[in-house]
Amino acid sequence: MKKLLSATEEPLIPNMFLGESKEFIDVLEKLKKVAKVDSTILLSGESGTGKEMAARYIHENSPRKEKAFVPVNCASLSKELLGSELFGHKKGSFTGAIEEREGKFKAAHNGTIFLDEIGEIPLEIQAKLLRVLQEGEIEKIGEETPEKVDTRVIAATNRDLSDMVENGEFREDLFYRINVIEVPMPPLRDRKDDVILLAEFFIEKISERIGVESKMLDDNVAKLLKDYNWPGNIRELRNAIERGLVLSEDEILTEKDFKFLSKNKTENTEDKFESSERNIILSHIDKARNKTELARILGIKRTTLLYKLKKYEIDF
């Protein structure tokens, strides 16, 4: 009998953070370990792979679980607004600052702050973030007196931060501060055993939310979902299930309800790896001086390469 880890067995796992594949179990075991300590964590991987769910799992299984979990999307705000959002501001410190505001770090005091898309933070804000990590101090915009905070930082990125460091887009000292423990999140195409499990979960939850009858998947559509590449990962699967449920006119979900998926298929480097990924990687190792260069040669992200090297037990 396959081991299934879900919210029903471990209440602290967020609902959509579930699976039975080896890739998922390996990640979950690592998250359990890092949850017990107070180290800074970097969650890497493509968009839609469940990085925020993983961050919530870490927090909810940590000694800080009774305190706040504060998520911040670093890509959604301008430099000026992001500084205010993270560190707070004094009244009148800039145009529009009509009242004093506490920042997200203060809101997460004694708890956890989740910095999503940390690679999008401007260099000026990176310097202030470095001070928080080094000194445990924040300075509101317009305030010269620093304030102590005790906040655990979990960061996430879908970019190759080491490349950004080389290109001068990300501070090297900040990179080493946030990359204490990296947890790569596998893409859904490498979690084929989880696709139907997740699809059935989404069918149940989405049908209840939008007020339609829950439906089963026929065998052909189940195969289609497993064979599809899912470039948008779990988020794309969830959206596909909702679209299929809304458009379906039958008692079960069939291939015709998911015709749009075949139109979304795009050929990329990782598609070509499916039959002989390990051999392809091995054939290019001698051409590269380091992992960053090897990733460039292969045309994939460094975080993806690190995951593949571990998956195929390749020492480099």
Rounded to 5°, the CA angle 256-261-262 comes to 85
Token couple for 153: 């930082």
* Structure confidence by residue, pLDDT tens digits, 130-143: 999 999 998 887 77
Q: Write out pLDDT tens, residues 206-255.
A: 998 888 889 999 999 999 999 999 988 999 999 999 999 998 888 899 99
Six-digit token pair at 111? 């708890």
| Contact indicator for 177, 21 with CB cutoff of 8 Å | no
Q: Spell out the per-residue pLDDT of the chain, length 316, in tens.
A: 233 333 333 333 344 578 999 999 999 999 999 999 999 999 999 989 999 999 999 999 999 999 999 999 998 888 778 888 898 876 656 666 667 778 899 999 999 999 999 999 999 999 999 999 999 998 887 777 888 999 999 999 999 899 899 889 999 999 999 999 999 999 999 999 999 999 999 999 999 888 888 999 999 999 999 999 998 899 999 999 999 999 888 889 999 999 888 655 544 444 444 446 777 788 778 778 788 888 888 878 787 888 888 777 788 8
Please tell me the number of Cα atoms within 13 Å of 213 on its side-chain side: 9
